[in-house]
Structure 1
Amino acid sequence: MSPPAIGLLSGALLVGITAPTLLLRQRGLLAAPRLGLAAWFGAAGAILVMLVLAGPITLLDPRVEAAPLAASDVRSFVAGCVGLLHRPGVPSLITALVSTGATAYIAVVLTRHALRSHRDNEAHRAELRTLGTPDPHTGIIVVEHARPLCYCLAGRPRHIVLSTAARDTLSVAQLDAVLAHERAHLTGHHHVLLTLARGLSTALPFLPLFRALPEQVELLVERLADERAGTSCGRSTVARALVRMATHSLPDTALGATGGNLTTRMTYLLHPTAAHLGPSAMVLSPAVALAIALGPTALLTLACQLSWAP
């Protein structure tokens, strides 16, 4: 097995184990949820990139110095590409097969998870067509339910579902805040992010990063929706609405106003200063997040170059 392949696989394992602890310590990522999502998905992406590259890199011959791109015609270009390969030993061949197989497995799991989520979503839509009544003015689907419920379903068409208990319990201002929260989920395509996080967690549950990813992504997209609703309807109004709706569960394919860690969300809603990064945190938190997400990839790329240097 070539040194770059060893470095890439070791780097993927290192990021998968250490990144969750480091990211969870960065409280600024909750204050700036877009940055938080970039950091968590950046770290996940770094793992996937290193895993995908480990297989092809282990088949390259480090002794070849001529670049195929310098070829004068197609035939010499193809010959140059073949010249970059070498006859792999058993360790290199196993590494290439494992890397390729793991990549294919992840792709299959993500596809199956997305299709299953789509099927569940459509099944729930079918139930709503039977149980729900569209509001003629807003298009919101109202369902008879004894608990205050409000959630959104992605797809075409997109739906916001509201229970009669929520309609009757919440004030007009609180209801507007809850609906603004759900619209923020839909316009931000937060369902896609959560589906991707859950699919990665299903594919690679042995890595702490992927185990923590769904919970953290859900919290961060809820923080994003809270900030959007708080801007248009008032932070205290959003908080009061959440308190009144805090005792219900949602369908697996839905994003609702009370998802994520509600205690953390209430802290940022009721204490606006906590949701704004100070001058030092504005510099430190992005730097730390980028270092966690992209640092190992950059360092290992450099290591690959040095290991093949003449």
Structure 2
Amino acid sequence: MELPRGNARYVLGFDEQYIWVGAGDHVACYDLSPELKDDQRLRWRTPLQRSAGRGLLARQSLLVPDGSRVVELDRQDGRILRMFDLSIDGSDPVGNLFTDGERFYVLGMERVTALTDSRYRLAQLDHTIARGDLNARYQRAQIRVLMDAYALAADDLLYILNREQPSSIVHENARSLLVDCLLQLAERDVAQADARLLEVRRWVRGQAQEIRLNITQARLHERMGQYPQAMEIWRELALDDSGLMLPAGTEKDAALAQVAELAGAHLEDLLTRQPELRARLAPLAESALQDAVRANNSVERLLAVARRASSNPGGGPGFVGGSQAQGWGRPC
């Protein structure tokens, strides 16, 4: 049997009737029946984004690497059954897959990862955590994040921060994951996120974490109907001048400008949706004028919003036409 030429291929596995073939951008199944011509053998073909390693054939399915994920496909029709996100272990692409009959092993750029049932793995970690292992507690927090158990993950991370040396890698990783965890929790459970916000702020280090935590706090204010407080945080982010002393075009300067633009767009959207906040536009316009020397797009937008609102305090066509009309949505 001759297969169509194209990307480099390898055999995933075969049985008496079918052969499964992997490539960099797809997985395919071919029928080995002798009565079929070569152009009739393709049974199904499932595209992949970026497969950088070899998959394997299981009893009822195929498991193949795809970027930072492992994708499980139905052997019969190529349907995607499940996806396992391994970005928890870094952003490197997943490599070759192996199995010993009990676990799946994933070869990465600098590591080998064993895939097991999450409940089984959590039970293992619980025993290690009981002996005081903080690294095991961090691994449990990572798994809980993947399971959307953000409140439990945050508690694990706070436990680490209160006991681990600040200079350790585990402490640094826990701080970073905690801020992201709280941001996700704020979208799902306001009370749980608000209860942890002050303690999380104790452990924030660096401008990037501070910005993410401020965004979290602004969203919490919005979810609780505290729009003036939320507006003030977005305003501060939009007019942040902490990157002014950096050389133009640096990576950090670009990141600050992106945050400022994001905050400006969100603030404009918030002001448009909440008419009772328009009385606060006068000081906003004054601050925007003072910082206009930056010539930042977000400042110019804020200034335009303030001018439209102050010239048309009752709302109406002069005020409507903010972020949504110009394609500026709320931050993701």
Report the TM-score, using the length of structure 2 for normalisation.
0.26
Provide TM-score, normalisation by structure 1: 0.28
Which protein has greater RCO, CA pairs closer than 8 Å, 6+ apart?
A: 1
Structure whose residues are more often helix by fraction: 1
Structure 1 or 2: more strand by fraction: 2
